[in-house]
Amino acid sequence: MTSQLDCQYWNNRYRNADTGWDIGYAAPPLTSYFDQLTDKNKRILIPGCGNGYEVAYLLENGFQNITVIDIAPALTEMLSQKFAPHAGKELTIYTGDFFEHSGVYDLIIEQTFFCALNPTLRSCYVEKMHELLSPGGKLVGLLFNRDFQGGPPFGGSREEYEPLFSQKFSKGSMEPCYNSIPPRRDAELFIQMEK
């Protein structure tokens, strides 16, 4: 396993265009979820946001309060240019470590961020997500339901995740995802955890 999954590691992955996780468009399970939201003022956070396809989708659909945080400055510099008309308005872009972020959000979106972290951080991830959510706020997104050799990504299973998330979240669901992209078919769980 790569020992230091730090800022330099992720920055180099972007600088070297070594971004095998990047699907090139907003993931259908997430866009379907966004499509049924009526409150466009929800405070939405996307940690480890990558190239921001979900951000573009949210902006196109009128969402007014989106925040992203990513540890790789090479990426966030690119995002600042890509989303220049929205930055500082509907969209706030932070460069930094999710675990040091503070704020309050109604909705936090997960996609290949959990699996990018060293598995020793999983309890901290759950605690931090819970801390960042408003009462009634939700963590929604996708977790891999399969193993990988080495990592990142680091996989797992519903059997592992349920006790982990139930440490902080008493309400929620974790179901096989029915509309994953083809390479991830039958290998993802769609999660909704409510604070």
Ligand X SMILES: C[S@@+](CC[C@H](N)C(=O)[O-])C[C@H]1O[C@@H](n2cnc3c(N)ncnc32)[C@H](O)[C@@H]1O
- Residues in contact with 17: Cβ distance below 8 Å, sequence separation at least 6, in sequence order: none
- Of 92 and 166, which CB lies nearer to ligand X in the complex structure? 92
Distance CA(174)–CA(35), nearest Å, equals: 20
Residue 143 within binding range of ligand X, rule CB under 6 A: no
Distance CA(128)–CA(157), nearest Å, equals: 21
Residue 141 within binding range of ligand X, rule CB under 6 A: no
- Of 20 and 136, which CB lies nearer to ligand X in the complex structure? 20
- Of 166 and 192, which CB lies nearer to ligand X in the complex structure? 192
Angle at 31 between CA 13 and CA 85, to 5 degrees: 65
Among 33, 66, 93, 112, binds ligand X (CB under 6 A): 112
Sheet holding 44-47, edge to edge: 91-95, 66-70, 44-47, 105-111, 133-144, 188-194, 171-176
- By CB under 6 A, the residues from 148 to 177 that bind ligand X are none
- By CB under 6 A, the residues from 57 to 96 that bind ligand X are 69-72, 75
Residue 127 within binding range of ligand X, rule CB under 6 A: no
For 150, the 3-state DSSP assignment is coil
Say if CB 190 and CB 29 are below 8 A apart: yes
Quote the least distance from Cβ 120 to ligand X, whole Å: 13
Among 97, 127, 131, 162, binds ligand X (CB under 6 A): 97
- Residues in contact with 32: Cβ distance below 8 Å, sequence separation at least 6, in sequence order: 179
Among 33, 34, 83, 113, binds ligand X (CB under 6 A): 113
Residue showing tokens 């972020």: 101
Quote the least distance from Cβ 127 to ligand X, whole Å: 14
Residue 29 within binding range of ligand X, rule CB under 6 A: no
Binding-site ranges for ligand X (CB under 6 A): 10, 21-22, 47-50, 69-72, 75, 97-99, 111-113, 116-117
